[in-house]
């Protein structure tokens, strides 16, 4: 049986996906519900990694501006290049700062779970709740969160059924999502507040 998983397919040409930082609101780290309330987003999911001082780790770019520097790791990068070019997931070595002017969003996190339809080998870890962002065959952005503990291999296998490209977001106690679209609402709380998140806007 597949673990209980919340999946949302977002057409990035019709919906705006944006990077949210707690510092935007002069706040310490926040829950995704707080991000949603303060930003007016329809959906918010936790974003990238951070240290014990709640400082973000890894590349963060918003509307062509680097908000946090790239990290020399094997993590992947989720990119949005505007409405026409859409979304992509690339490796660290494929990132170029010359692309900044056309980059509306970039977040570096990992590992990459599905690469061109294939599941890579990665160091397995203990089962935990997980969240991810992916790209479907049709080019839509997939936002996913499993409410049950799974290991990385199970998570990658599940996501590979939905999309040929997928990137793990920060997991464990950070995994959380808040959604309010019309009459539909969902709030899966995490165990910790987070310094950055991804929001979806109409």
- For 112-123, the pLDDT digits (tens) are 999 999 999 988
Structure tokens at 129: 């709740």
Please give the Cα distance from 104 to 100 (Å, whole number). 8
Q: Answer whether residue 155 shows pLDDT above 80.
A: yes
Q: pLDDT confidence of 3, banded at 50, 70, 90? A: confident
Q: Answer whether residue 124 shows pLDDT above 90.
A: no
Please give the Cα distance from 144 to 142 (Å, whole number). 6
Please give the Cα distance from 3 to 158 (Å, whole number). 9
DSSP label at residue 134: E
Mean pLDDT computed over 87-93 = 95
Please give the Cα distance from 2 to 158 (Å, whole number). 8
Q: Answer whether residue 90 shows pLDDT above 90.
A: yes
Mean pLDDT computed over 189-199 = 97
Lookup result for tokens 């409405």: 83
> In the β-sheet with 177-181, what is the strand arrangement from edge to edge?
16-21, 196-201, 43-46, 177-181, 184-188
Q: Answer whether residue 171 shows pLDDT above 70.
A: yes
Q: What is the mean pLDDT of the chain?
A: 94
Are the C-beta atoms of 155 and 111 separated by less than 8 Å?
Answer: no
Q: pLDDT confidence of 83, banded at 50, 70, 90? A: low
Give the pLDDT score at 122. 86
- Report the DSSP beta bridge partners of residue 9: 142
Q: Answer whether residue 10 shows pLDDT above 90.
A: yes
Are the C-beta atoms of 170 and 49 separated by less than 8 Å?
Answer: yes
Are the C-beta atoms of 122 and 105 separated by less than 8 Å?
Answer: no
The pairing of beta strand 65-68 with beta strand 196-201: unpaired
Mean pLDDT computed over 142-158 = 95
Give the pLDDT score at 108. 98
């Amino acid at each position: 049986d597949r673990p209980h998983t919340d999946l949302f397919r977002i057409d990035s040409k019709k919906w705006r996906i944006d990077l949210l930082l707690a510092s935007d609101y002069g706040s310490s780290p926040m829950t995704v519900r707080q991000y949603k309330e303060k930003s007016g987003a329809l959906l918010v999911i936790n974003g990238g990694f951070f240290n014990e001082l709640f400082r973000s780790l890894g590349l963060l770019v918003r509307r062509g501006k680097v908000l946090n520097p790239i990290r020399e790791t094997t993590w992947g990068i989720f990119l949005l290049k505007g409405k026409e070019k859409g979304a992509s997931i690339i490796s660290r070595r494929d990132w170029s700062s010359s692309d900044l002017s056309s980059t509306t969003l970039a977040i570096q996190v990992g590992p990459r779970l599905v690469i061109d339809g294939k599941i890579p080998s990665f160091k397995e870890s203990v089962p935990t709740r997980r969240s991810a962002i992916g790209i479907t065959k049709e080019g839509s952005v997939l936002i996913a969160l499993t409410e049950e503990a799974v290991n990385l291999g199970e998570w990658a296998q599940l996501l590979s059924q939905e999309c040929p490209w997928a990137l793990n977001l920060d997991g464990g106690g950070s995994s959380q999502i808040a959604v309010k679209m019309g009459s539909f609402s969902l709030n899966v709380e995490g165990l910790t507040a987070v310094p950055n998140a991804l929001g979806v806007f109409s």
